[in-house]
Amino acid sequence: WDDYICLVEFAYNNSWHASIKCAPFEILYGRKCRAPICWDQVGERVIEGPEMIEVTNAKVAVAKEKLKEAHTRQKSYADKHRRSLEFQPGDHVFLKVSPARGVRRFGIKGKLSSRFIGPFEILDRVGEVSYRLALPPQLSHVHNVFHVSLLRGYKYHPLHVIFISTRSDLYRFILRRRT
């Protein structure tokens, strides 16, 4: 596929981009690119020398302005789905797991497995949006730092805690009950 990389680059540089509202080639050179289809149409050069530099700098300034506008627009769309959560060390949280990916996580696989496991205690804050959790020994193979989007707050109550080690006992209990 490396034989076609120049054609891919040509197509990318001549396609319309929503962020800058034109093609990158137009921003850089101030005109539309002459594709192989229109090579028989020969035109005159209008801008030369210092004028070309001024026009190019003006186009670059316009492109930067449009990129800033696109950035704020895209940020506003992304922020609609965000929720601001802050936890303190000692708080308890549920951890979100994603069984839909088809990856065996935490010993359970399938669509009907629980979406959140825990609760786990927060040990400390790592960076702006990550927290270190106190995971049980059964989850020692999992890294214990998680992004805030994977956590859900929990008001701790000692009667609600279900230890992970009881899951194997639960399977045996169900099997005994069926027979």
Collapse the DSSP code of 51 into the 3-class scheme (helix H, G, I; strand E, B; otherwise coil) and give the result: helix
State the residue range of the domain holding 165: 92-178
Domain boundary pick from 55, 79, 103: 79
Using the predicted structure, report yes or no on whether residue 38 has a pLDDT greater than 60. Answer: no
User: CA angle, corner 16, sides to 14 and 22, nearest 5?
Assistant: 95
Encoded amino acid at 168, one letter? S
Q: Are residues 63 and 102 in the same domain?
A: no
125-155 per-position pLDDT tens digit: 999 889 999 988 877 778 889 999 889 998 7
Task: Provide the mean pLDDT of the chain.
Answer: 77
Give the residues across from 108 on adjacent strands. 105
Q: Are residues 57 and 135 in the same domain?
A: no
Q: Are residues 73 and 120 in the same domain?
A: no
Q: How remote is the C-alpha of 92 from its chain's centroid? A: 25
Of the two residues 44 and 105, the one the predictor is more confident about is 44
Domain boundary pick from 48, 79, 110: 79
Domain boundary pick from 33, 51, 79: 79
- Residue 28 gets the label, from left (phi > 0), alpha (psi -120 to 50) or beta, of alpha
Burial (CB count <10 Å: 0-12, 13-18, 19+), residue 118: buried
Q: Are 144 and 133 in contact (CB under 8 A)?
A: yes
The mean per-residue pLDDT over the stretch 120-128 comes to 92
Burial (CB count <10 Å: 0-12, 13-18, 19+), residue 119: buried
